[in-house]
Structure 1
Amino acid sequence: MYMYDLNHDQGMFLLTPDSKILDAFIRPSSMPQVVEGEQIGSYLTPAAAAALQEAVQKGEQTMLDLQFREMSGTYTYQFMKFSSGRIILRETEQAGSTSVKSMAHYFQQSPQPLLLTSRAGVIKDMNEAFEAFVGEPARKYIGEHLNAFFPEFTSDWVYDRLEDPEHEDAFHRAANVNQIGGEIERVHCTFVPEEGGAYYVIEMVTDNTSPLAGFSRWHEDALTGLPNRLVMSQKLQDALLQAEQDRTQCAVLFIDIDRFRLINETLGHVVGDQVLQLLAARLQSNVRKTDLLVRLGGDEFMLLISHVKEADEVEYVAERLLASLHPPLEIDGFEFHLRASIGAATYPAHGTTPDMLIKAADAAMFKAKNDPVENIRVYKSQMSQDFAEWFYVENDLQKALMQNEFELLYQPQFHIDGEKVCGVEVLVRWNHPQRGMLAPGQFLPVAEDTGLIVDLGHQVLKQACRQMKAWQQTYDTKIPISVNVSMKQFMQKDFVTKVENIILETGLAPTCLELEVTETVTMDIERTYKVLQQLKKLGVKISLDDFGTGYSSLQHLNELPFDVFKVDQSFVKKMVHHERGRAMVHTMLKLGEIFNVKVVVEGVETEFEWETIKTYGNPLLQGYKFSHPLTEDQFSNLLRQTPAED
Structure 2
Amino acid sequence: MDNERIAHCLALSQRARSQQGQGEAQAATLAELEAALQALQPAPVIAPAGAELMLDAAGYLTAWNEGAERLFGYRASEALGQHVLFLYAGDDEDGDIAELVDADHAVIDVRRRKKSGEVIRVRLNITLLRDSAGQPSGMRVLIAPMVEGLSAREKTKLHARIIEDSDQGVLITDAHERIVSINSAFTRITGYTAAEALGKTPDMLRSGVPGADFPARVSAAMKGAGPWRGEIIGRRKNGELFPQAVTVSAVRDEDGAIRHTFSLFSDISVHKDAEARMQRLANYDTLTGLPNLGLLSQLLGQAMTEARRKQEHGALLVIEINRLGAIADTLGHEVGNAVLLEVGRIFRLVLRDEDILARLDGGKFAAALPQIEKREHAAIVAQKLMAALEAPLQIGAHRLQLSAHVGVAVYPEDAQDAAELVRGADAAMSRVVPGQVPALLFYSEEMNQRAKEHLRIESELRLALANKELLLYYQPKVSLRSGRIVGAEALLRWRHPVRGLVSPGVFIPVAEETGLIYELGNWVLEEACRQIAAWRDANLMMPPIAVNLSARQFDSHLPERVADVMARHHVHPEQLMLEITESLLVRGAENVIAIMNELVAMGLSLALDDFGTGYSSLAYLKKFPISTLKIDRAFVVGLPFEENDCAIARAIVTMAKQLRQEIVAEGVETIEQMGFLRELGCDQLQGYLFSQPIAAADFERMLREGKRLAVSGRQATLSL
- TM-score with structure 1 length normalisation? 0.46
Q: Which has the higher contact order (CA 8 A, sep 6+)?
A: 1
- TM-score with structure 2 length normalisation? 0.42
Structure of greater Rg: 2
